[in-house]
Amino acid sequence: MTYAIGVDLGGTKTAAGVVSAAGEVLYSETIPTLNRGGGGAILDATAALVSSLVGRARAEGLAVVGVGVGSAGVIDAGRGVVVSATDAILGWSGTELTAGLAHRLELAPEAVRAVNDVHAHALGEAWTGAAAGTASSLLVAFGTGVGGSFVLAGQPVLGHRYVGGHVGHFASPYAQHGGVPLPCVCGGAGHVEAIASGPALRETYLRLGGNAPAPDARSVFALAGAGDALAIQAVGLGAAAAGQAVGGLANILDPEVVVVTGGLSDAGAPWWRPMERALRAELLPALAALPVMPAKLGNAAAIVGAASLILTTGPTLQRNLP
């Protein structure tokens, strides 16, 4: 059996694991992402992490054939370059991700591949997770931001400029207050992420007049669970905005299944029920029976999906559009 290293490179931590051809994570390690050190420092640390895992695998007689990376930022999957990134990782934009890792690890260039981390998450769920065995799946993640990926015939739809999946950045009627569109982190206004993300949930609570300590979304959920009416309203608004957005995407893409994931979905029924209610209210009649399910792989999803770039994809990961 062959094995690959899957890497989940995020803004605060980088996790990597040895993954089998059956999609099983044998073991994994996590390090802090040097998000203020620049691209070179991040690649050095990531290469050291991968080398540690490769050494462990070889000691056990396991043949590691390559490295797949799911990374924060817009990733040109054809060239393995970080096209753009937020200030969450300073100096990451422009980094030659796959070439840099291949050089440090003394691997052939084709032995290292990369996509955006949400695409990697979706690939993991499509391979061995909630969407396993389906021909198409739409994954949408609601957490610090809002992102998504449409996996079709085992490949994520990346888009002509590799920005496919930025599903938090289209208009939502919920993303306004007093008739004024809410500002979005992308520089626009009135977008899904401005009302349906974790930070937006806290901001909604405060806008509604909440004055109890609420430093983050988790605190708002705790207040809602304790019966705080404004917190309950804030959770309901954010969940409804999320559901309407996913329902609209499903109308456009007609996936076989929808997978919803992220920190907000982990809150369970108080968020999931209004989210799914709004989602199904948005669906066209032909999609009434669309399966909508939570993700199954948890923190391992992006590691598994990144490894699948090596273990299951064809010779070259291309854009899905000409």
pLDDT tens-digit series, residues 33-74: 999 999 999 999 999 999 999 999 999 999 999 999 999 999
User: What integer pLDDT is reported at residue 258 of this predicted model?
Assistant: 98
pLDDT digits (tens, 9 = 90+) for 223-246: 999 999 999 999 999 999 999 999
SS3 state of residue 202: helix
Band of residue 1 on the pLDDT scale cut at 50, 70, 90: confident
Element (H, E) at 63: strand 63-71
pLDDT digits (tens, 9 = 90+) for 252-272: 999 999 999 999 999 999 999
CATH superfamily of 2-123+299-311: ATPase, nucleotide binding domain (3.30.420.40)
- Mean pLDDT, the chain, as a whole number? 95
User: What integer pLDDT is reported at residue 211 of this predicted model?
Assistant: 86
User: What integer pLDDT is reported at residue 320 of this predicted model?
Assistant: 33
% pLDDT > 70, the chain: 97
User: What integer pLDDT is reported at residue 318 of this predicted model?
Assistant: 37
Domain boundaries, the chain: 2-123+299-311, 135-295
User: What integer pLDDT is reported at residue 143 of this predicted model?
Assistant: 94
pLDDT digits (tens, 9 = 90+) for 164-207: 999 999 999 999 999 999 999 999 999 999 999 999 999 999 99
Element (H, E) at 207: helix 198-207
Matching fold, domains 2-123+299-311 and 135-295: yes
DSSP code for 287: G
Average of per-residue pLDDT across 140-157: 96
* Topology (CATH) of 135-295: Nucleotidyltransferase; domain 5 (3.30.420)
Residue 221 scores a pLDDT above 60 = yes
Residue 322 scores a pLDDT above 70 = no
Band of residue 213 on the pLDDT scale cut at 50, 70, 90: confident
Q: Under 8 Å CB-to-CB from 55, ≥6 apart: which residues?
A: none
Q: Under 8 Å CB-to-CB from 48, ≥6 apart: which residues?
A: none
Closest CA to 199 of 263, 115, 278, 260: 263
Residue 319 scores a pLDDT above 80 = no
